[in-house]
Copies of this chain bind each other. A is one copy, B any other.
Amino acid sequence: MEESRRERKKRQTRQLLVGTALRLFAEQGYEQTTVAQIAAAADVATKTFFNYFPTKEDVLFAEVLEYMEQMAGVVAEREPSDRVADVLLKTYDRVIAHYLTKGPPAGDRELAKVYEHLLATVPSIQAKALHMMFGMQREVARHLLEAFPDVLDPISAAAVAGAFVGAVQGAGGAAREAGQSDEEIVASMARAAEIAIGGLRPF
């Protein structure tokens, strides 16, 4: 089925709102920017903004669902020989790849900076991001449990997913905070994945 005019307009408006919001956040800061301003700059009613995004923060997390789908795909395509750790590593690779091709830095290098800065400075955005991450972690756990019912139970699946995601995310945050470049950050997160898989006894 082709994309209808209605669907196209909806996608455009959504995109416009995201872009406008990001621009204003970059120019004036997150808290200094009101939803009314964003709507006005995008030339829609304030209410329309809330028709698209449940909260002001959500405009920053428009593509989370895509990542969830990517993760689901990895588990679906797994090889019979893949064990839990293999699937997790492939998931990590896939998400990174998706970020590099479809994420903000792909088209616009500046936009990535904006995201980073917001994430580093606005507590409510940090909390929201963690909440999203938590949702993704639960998805990972759910998929793992489904794919490996013989070696995992709901608790260990959650533990495994938590360890992996927690390590990668913790290292990513630390790397960013340390001022590492994008490539270094990705490498740091990969190292964290190895640490999670290898366990903490070596330390």
Task: Say what secondary structure dominates the interface of chain A.
Answer: helix
A158-B173 in contact (CB<8A): yes
User: Hey, which chain B residues are within 8 Å of A175, CB to CB?
Assistant: 155, 158
B163-A159 in contact (CB<8A): no
* Chain A residues with a Cβ closer than 8 Å to the other chain, count: 50
A159-B141 in contact (CB<8A): no
**Interface assignment of A120: CB less than 8 Å from any CB of chain B:** no
Q: Which of A22-30, A65-73, A195-203 has 4 or more CB atoms under 8 Å from chain B?
A: A195-203
A200-B130 in contact (CB<8A): no
Q: A85-B200, A192-B155 are in contact. Are A163 and B164 (CB under 8 A)?
A: yes
Q: Which of A33-41, A95-103, A121-129 has 4 or more CB atoms under 8 Å from chain B?
A: A121-129
Q: Mark A178-203, 1 if CB is under 8 A from B, else 0.
A: 10000000001001100111111101
Q: Which of A9-17, A45-53, A146-154 has 4 or more CB atoms under 8 Å from chain B?
A: A146-154
A196-B131 in contact (CB<8A): no
**Interface assignment of A59: CB less than 8 Å from any CB of chain B:** no
**Interface assignment of A160: CB less than 8 Å from any CB of chain B:** yes
**Interface assignment of A174: CB less than 8 Å from any CB of chain B:** yes
A84-B200 in contact (CB<8A): yes
**Interface assignment of A166: CB less than 8 Å from any CB of chain B:** yes
**Interface assignment of A74: CB less than 8 Å from any CB of chain B:** no
Pick the contact of A196: B155, B174, B200 (CB < 8 A): B200
Pick the contact of A198: B173, B195, B201 (CB < 8 A): B201
B192-A171 in contact (CB<8A): no
Q: A85-B200, A148-B203, A198-B201 are in contact. Are A162 and B170 (CB under 8 A)?
A: yes
Of all chain B residues, the one with the shortest Cβ separation from A154 is B174
Pick the contact of A168: B141, B148, B162 (CB < 8 A): B162
Contacts A/B (CB < 8 Å), 17 sampled: A85-B200, A126-B134, A127-B131, A130-B130, A141-B170, A155-B192, A158-B173, A159-B168, A159-B174, A162-B168, A163-B163, A164-B200, A165-B166, A165-B170, A166-B170, A196-B199, A197-B200
